[in-house]
């Protein structure tokens, strides 16, 4: 099978010739740039190669065509036109990470150093005359959003303020998706995914709007979560407008990309903690499920695409609702959280959901285990999740920059030994 055929079989819950593998197709199934750098040097032996930062907020590294082929990765993907910092990838410039890794970043990505702390500050759209919107602690590996919340005046709260980032696609956006179609057309041997813009309702990576110079509305993450309980009419108004715009944009994107795409990454909003949900099932059903269903219904009616939900934590109690809302794929499959036992997940929900992730624990095993620990866990997870198909191998969320390269190599060795 080609990667595209392998993903197609997996999405149809048919047993593929080997487990389907994704690294780098989405912003939550990637690797930190320093790991990509070490992996590329270990596998391909090119000491002068500079990895491109495809997502600067998390400092994720691009898995290029040569490395993808060498590692047996089956899926490619395209993110949105602009990053969480509002930068694009029309040009590149050199950059050095705190750990000394030399990479390439988008030309429009600009930073300064906080003289008081040595922290790295990032700016919306790269505009250093604006207030910084992201902070990477000195010696750190990724950015945290800087909350820029004006004092809230309840009498003046306007849902439109939390919708200023949602707009109908313009000419530049259409040109981007036309280029995206051509990019996919040159990689037809791979499975293909696309991140759909504006469909992640209440995603805390987006709420602080690190891409806007002067964000209005409710932009403090804690205040936003409070609002889902105390200002539900406001949240509904935001989601309603967001959904209307997203539906119109989706129709345009589907028309432009057609069958070149197999998977739509719809949302990365988290609903789980280590021990359970941090939002009740009832709250999900009232606030989120109606909009998820509208988006999924449109995608399924207008295309052959399967829809992908990312939600960290213990989301067992929401899985029936995710299925009813129309989601086909669950990520990151956090098996370390309460109730998220791999065998139980596969037995109860494996007929309805494709598990995209769950292949190895990034919180403990990848970062702090031995290569033997990694090898053993990867083999066990493939045995469970890939039985009968319906499994795309990926770690539980992105592989972070503190992971020993020996563990990453052990993961890929386990994939090869499993028939990869």
Q: Tens digits of per-residue pLDDT, 304-356?
A: 999 999 999 999 999 999 999 999 999 999 999 999 999 999 999 999 999 99
Query: Mean pLDDT, to the nearest integer, of 43-58?
Result: 95
Neighbour count for residue 382 (Cβ, 10 Å) = 22
Of 3.20.20.210, 1.10.3720.10, 3.20.20.70, 3.30.420.40, the CATH number of 3-35+64-85+153-417 is: 3.20.20.210
The pLDDT of residue 16: 97
Is 40 in contact with 101 (CB distance < 8 Å)?
A: no
pLDDT reading at 259 higher than 60: yes
**pLDDT tens-digit readout, 218-248:** 999 999 999 999 999 999 999 999 999 999 9
**pLDDT tens-digit readout, 10-25:** 999 999 999 999 999 9
Query: Mean pLDDT, to the nearest integer, of 396-406?
Result: 97
Q: 116 exposed, middle or buried (CB, 10 Å; 0-12, 13-18, 19+)?
A: exposed
φ, ψ at 317 (rounded to 5°) = -70, -15
Closest CA to 355 of 17, 19, 26, 68: 19
The pLDDT of residue 219: 97
The pLDDT of residue 89: 86
Percent of the chain with pLDDT over 90: 98
Whole-angstrom distance, CA of residue 295 vs CA of residue 291:
6
Mean residue pLDDT across the chain: 97
Whole-angstrom distance, CA of residue 313 vs CA of residue 115:
37
Domains of the chain, residue spans: 3-35+64-85+153-417
Whole-angstrom distance, CA of residue 408 vs CA of residue 420:
15
- Cα separation of the two ends of the chain: 11
Q: Is the pTM of this model over 0.85?
A: yes
The pLDDT of residue 90: 83
**pLDDT tens-digit readout, 70-110:** 999 999 999 999 999 999 988 999 999 999 999 999 999 99
Whole-angstrom distance, CA of residue 374 vs CA of residue 364:
10
Residues with Cβ within 8 Å of residue 63, at least 6 apart in sequence? 23, 24, 30, 31, 36, 71, 73
pLDDT reading at 374 higher than 70: yes
Exposure string over 131-161, b if 16+ CB within 10 A, otherwise e: ebbbbbeeebbbbebeebbeeeeeeebebee
pLDDT reading at 420 higher than 60: no
DSSP string computed for 166-217: -----HHHHHHHHHHHHHHHT-TTSEEEEEPTT--TT-TTTTT-TT-SS--S
Closest CA to 240 of 285, 305, 287, 300: 287
């Amino acid at each position: 099978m080609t990667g595209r055929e392998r993903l197609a079989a997996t999405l149809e819950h048919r047993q593929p010739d080997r487990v389907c593998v994704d690294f780098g197709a989405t912003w939550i199934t990637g690797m930190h740039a320093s790991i990509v750098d070490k992996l590329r040097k270990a596998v391909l032996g090119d000491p002068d190669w500079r990895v491109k930062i495809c997502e600067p907020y998390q400092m994720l590294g691009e898995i290029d065509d040569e490395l993808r082929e060498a590692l047996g990765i089956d899926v490619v993907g395209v993110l949105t036109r602009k990053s969480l910092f509002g930068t694009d990838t029309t040009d590149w410039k050199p950059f050095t990470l705190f750990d000394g890794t030399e990479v390439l970043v988008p030309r429009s990505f600009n930073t300064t150093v906080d003289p008081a702390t040595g922290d790295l500050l990032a700016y919306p759209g790269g505009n250093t005359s604006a207030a910084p919107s992201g902070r990477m602690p000195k010696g750190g590996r990724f950015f945290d959003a800087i909350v820029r919340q004006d004092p809230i005046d309840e009498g003046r709260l306007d849902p439109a303020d939390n919708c200023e980032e949602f707009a109908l696609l313009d000419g530049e956006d259409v040109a981007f998706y036309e280029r995206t179609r051509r990019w996919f057309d040159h990689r037809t041997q791979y499975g293909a995914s696309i991140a759909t813009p504006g469909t992640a309702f209440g995603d805390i990576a987006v709420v602080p709007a690190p891409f806007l110079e002067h964000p209005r509305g409710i932009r403090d993450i804690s205040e936003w979560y409070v609002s889902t309980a105390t200002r539900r009419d406001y949240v509904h108004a935001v989601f309603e407008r967001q959904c209307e715009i997203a539906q119109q944009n989706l129709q345009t994107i589907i028309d432009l990309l057609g069958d070149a795409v197999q998977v739509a990454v719809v949302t990365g909003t988290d609903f789980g903690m280590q021990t359970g949900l941090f939002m009740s099932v009832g709250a999900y059903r009232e606030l989120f499920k109606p909009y998820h269903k509208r988006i999924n219904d449109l995608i399924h009616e207008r295309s052959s695409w399967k829809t992908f939900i990312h939600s960290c934590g213990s989301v067992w109690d929401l899985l029936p609702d995710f299925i009813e809302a129309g989601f086909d794929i669950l990520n990151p499959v956090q098996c370390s959280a309460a109730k998220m036992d791999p065998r139980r997940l596969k037995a109860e929900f494996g007929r309805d959901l494709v598990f995209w992730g769950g292949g190895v624990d990034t919180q403990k095993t990848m970062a702090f285990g031995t290569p033997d620990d990694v090898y053993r866990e990867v083999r066990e997870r493939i045995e469970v999740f890939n039985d009968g198909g319906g499994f795309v191998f990926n770690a539980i969320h992105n592989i972070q920059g503190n992971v020993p390269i020996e563990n990453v190599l052990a993961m890929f060795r386990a994939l090869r030994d499993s028939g990869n």
